[in-house]
């Protein structure tokens, strides 16, 4: 059934993806579009016919974008640094900045509170406690930011924050016995589970929809890039502060580690979330460009690796450390693939990057297959351990994801399905990761008796 508001939302997202429109521009264009639709429906056309004709009359998004780019390029950095012009947007922007500052301070203070009970972040005995809780110190505030900004109802607040609270209780009540394998597996999987939980606050009512989940994938990539850049700035500031105070005989290192890096890290996380959400209409094309640059480079590297491994007969997969490293590498490659997909216009015809994506997927499948066989060998040769079972599960998850994408791309190339269906399959697969990360973080440790 045709939903006019959903189609207009998709049209707005398409304009934002061009990268040259301000929100004011988009609202002005949307006003023209709605006026045109009203005129056509008044003349007797159905909503879907009126929408298609109105979009056609308004013009091609790329052509409009190029015209707006000529006007708006000079204002790019002003858009970053200044408040929006209309009062409503000004109020929203200032509220967001206040929330970012407040939540960054609360997050940093939450990290410092355990020190009152003898759990210092610099104390090695407290290392596992902080590793288990670091995502719980930060991500609930990120979710709260979106719950407030999206004006969610009390029920949504209760469910999302209730899950955060329950996760915090469970993860801290669980005992941990040497060699702490399941505890460290929880440390790795809990942040991923909580980040997917944050997605529910970010997306809101569209959580089950393809477009909302794709927007969250784009948002995740932008947040990661902003986080790296902002955190690099915090580190440089810290080192600079240490150096200049050292020049006058004052040791500021303890203060920097105890306060600047902690509060600065929390601020970097909140600022990254804010920027990725607030400035997406300007910079949404930045991360996809990076993904398109690195995709062919990763492809060449992996093909070369497979060729050298086959020629020399040497495999690194018998070593546990290499298996873990390759799992991270495969996850990163999958992230590149997903980000290229998320930034793609579903109406665009097949292009070079689609074929590069397919080649990257097939190469990753081959590496995953070799790694999977090595894990099965280690299980049969050395017995079952939490790490091996977790590695097996993650490789099977990646194998399923990559194989599904390869199958979908094949159907798309043969014109048996459209790109929107490929996107929907991938966004539905996020549920698998949500269940798996929750299982490893909370159930795995019980099965293996907290060792």
**What pLDDT score does 281 carry?**
46
Top-confidence residue, 259 or 52:
259
Higher pLDDT, 246 or 288: 246
Evaluate if residue 65 carries a pLDDT over 50: no
Q: Bigger pLDDT: 96 or 92? A: 96
Residue 71 has pLDDT above 70, yes or no: no
Residue 432's pLDDT is 93
Q: Report the predicted TM-score, pTM, of the whole model to 2 decimal places.
A: 0.76
- Label residue 372 by pLDDT band (50, 70, 90): confident
Q: Which residue has the higher pLDDT, 169 or 55?
A: 169
What pLDDT score was predicted for residue 440? Answer: 93
Phi and psi torsions of 33, nearest 5°? -60, -45
239, two tokens: 């080192």
Predicted local confidence at residue 79, as pLDDT: 46
Tell me the chain's radius of gyration from C-alpha atoms: 24
Lowest mean pLDDT across 94-103, 151-160, 210-219, 319-328: 319-328
Is the per-residue pLDDT at 20 higher than 60? no
Whether residue 218 is preceded by a cis peptide bond, meaning omega within 30 degrees of 0, is no
Q: Is residue 451 within 8 Å of 181, Cβ to Cβ?
A: yes
CA-based torsion, 181, 186, 192, 196: positive or negative: positive
Average pLDDT over residues 378-407: 88
Burial of 321 (0-12, 13-18, 19+ CB in 10 A): exposed
Q: What is the residue extent of each domain of the chain?
A: 4-81, 89-281, 286-417
Locate 451 and state its tokens: 């060792």
Q: pLDDT category, 334, cuts 50, 70, 90?
A: confident
Q: Is the pLDDT of residue 204 over 50?
A: yes
Identify whether the C-beta of residue 157 lies closer than 8 Å to the C-beta of residue 147.
Answer: yes
DSSP secondary structure code for residue 102 in this structure: H
pLDDT at 105: 95
Per the model's pLDDT, the better-predicted residue between 63 and 301 turns out to be: 301
Task: Kindly report the average pLDDT of the chain as a whole number.
Answer: 81
Give the residue from 105, 82, 106 showing the smallest Cα distance to 94. 82
d(CA 246, CA 398): 49
Structure letter (DSSP) for residue 259:
I
| 267 pLDDT more than 90 | yes
pLDDT at residue 181, as a whole number: 87
The pLDDT assigned to 145 comes to 95
pLDDT of residue 16: 66
Those residues with Cβ within 8 angstroms of residue 187's Cβ, 6 or more apart along the chain or in another chain: 128, 131, 132
Mean pLDDT (whole number) for 242-246: 86
Is the pLDDT reported for residue 72 higher than 50?
no
What is the mean pLDDT of the segment spanning 23-45?
77
CA distance 6 to 92: 23
pLDDT of residue 140: 96
Residue 160 confidence class, pLDDT cut points 50, 70, 90: very high
Q: At what angle do helices 386-413 and 320-342 cross, to 10 degrees?
A: 30
Return the exposure string of 326-344: e unless at least 16 CB atoms fall within 10 Å of the residue's CB, then b.
bbebbeebbebbbbbbbbb
**Other C-beta atoms lying within 10 Å of the C-beta of residue 364:** 27
pLDDT above 70: percentage of residues in the chain: 83
Helix (H) or strand (E) holding 305: helix 286-312
- Averaged pLDDT for residues 385-403: 89
What is the pLDDT averaged over residues 199-209?
81
Look at 110 and 36; give whichever has higher pLDDT: 110
pLDDT at 77 over 50: no
Q: What are the angstrom distances between the C-alpha of 264 and each of 114, 134, 144, 242, 270?
A: 18, 14, 19, 15, 10
Is-contact 207 200, C-beta < 8 A?
A: yes
Asked whether residue 68 carries a pLDDT value surpassing 60, the answer given is no
Question: Of residues 434 and 244, which shows the higher confidence score?
Answer: 434
User: 280 with 222: CB under 8 angstroms?
Assistant: yes
Higher-scoring residue by pLDDT: 70, 180: 180
CB atoms within 10 A of CB 386: 21
Mean predicted confidence (pLDDT) in 111-139:
87
Q: How far apart are CA 129 and CA 287, in angstroms?
A: 34
Residue 262 has what pLDDT? 92
Residue 77 burial class via C-beta count within 10 angstroms: exposed 0-12, middle 13-18, buried 19 and up: exposed
């Amino acid at each position: 059934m045709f939903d006019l508001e959903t189609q207009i939302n998709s049209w707005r997202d398409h304009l934002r993806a061009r990268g040259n429109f301000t929100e004011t521009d988009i609202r002005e264009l949307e006003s023209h579009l709605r006026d045109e639709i009203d005129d056509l429906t008044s003349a007797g056309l159905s909503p879907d016919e009126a929408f298609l004709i109105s979009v056609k009359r308004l013009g091609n998004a790329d052509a409009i974008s190029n015209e707006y780019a000529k006007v708006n390029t000079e204002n790019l950095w002003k858009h970053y640094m200044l408040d929006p012009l209309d009062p409503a947007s000004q109020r929203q922007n200032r509220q967001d900045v206040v929330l970012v500052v407040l939540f960054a301070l609360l997050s940093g203070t939450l990290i410092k509170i355990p020190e009152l009970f003898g759990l210092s972040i610099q104390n090695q005995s407290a290392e596992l406690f902080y590793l288990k809780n670091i995502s719980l110190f930060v991500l609930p505030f990120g979710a709260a930011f979106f719950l407030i900004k999206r004006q969610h109802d009390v029920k949504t607040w209760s469910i999302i924050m209730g899950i955060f609270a329950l996760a915090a209780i469970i993860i801290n009540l669980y005992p941990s016995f040497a060699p702490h394998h399941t505890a460290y597996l929880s440390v790795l999987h809990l942040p991923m589970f909580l980040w997917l939980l944050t997605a529910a606050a970010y997306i809101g009512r569209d959580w089950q929809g393809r477009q909302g989940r794709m927007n969250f994938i784009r948002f995740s990539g932008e947040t990661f890039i902003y986080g790296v850049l902002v955190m690099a700035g915090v580190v440089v500031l810290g080192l600079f502060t240490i150096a200049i105070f050292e020049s006058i005989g004052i040791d500021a290192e303890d203060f920097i580690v105890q306060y600047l890096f902690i509060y600065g890290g929390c601020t970097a996380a909140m600022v990254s979330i804010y920027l990725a959400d607030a400035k997406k209409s300007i910079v949404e094309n930045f991360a996809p460009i990076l993904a398109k640059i690195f995709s062919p480079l990763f492809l060449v590297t992996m093909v070369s690796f497979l060729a050298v491994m086959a020629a020399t007969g040497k495999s690194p997969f018998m070593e546990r450390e290499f298996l873990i490293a390759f799992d991270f590498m495969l996850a990163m490659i999958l992230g590149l693939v997903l980000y290229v997909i998320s930034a793609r216009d579903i109406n665009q015809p097949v292009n070079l990057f689609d074929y590069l994506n397919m080649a990257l997927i097939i190469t990753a499948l081959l590496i995953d297959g070799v790694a999977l066989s090595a894990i099965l060998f280690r299980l049969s040769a050395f017995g079952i351990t939490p790490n091996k079972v977790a590695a097996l599960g993650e490789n099977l998850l990646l194998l399923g994801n990559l194989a599904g994408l390869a199958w979908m791309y094949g159907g798309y190339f043969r014109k048996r399905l459209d790109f929107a269906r490929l996107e929907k399959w991938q966004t539905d697969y996020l549920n698998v990761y949500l269940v798996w990360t929750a299982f490893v973080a909370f159930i795995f440790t019980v099965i293996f008796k907290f060792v």
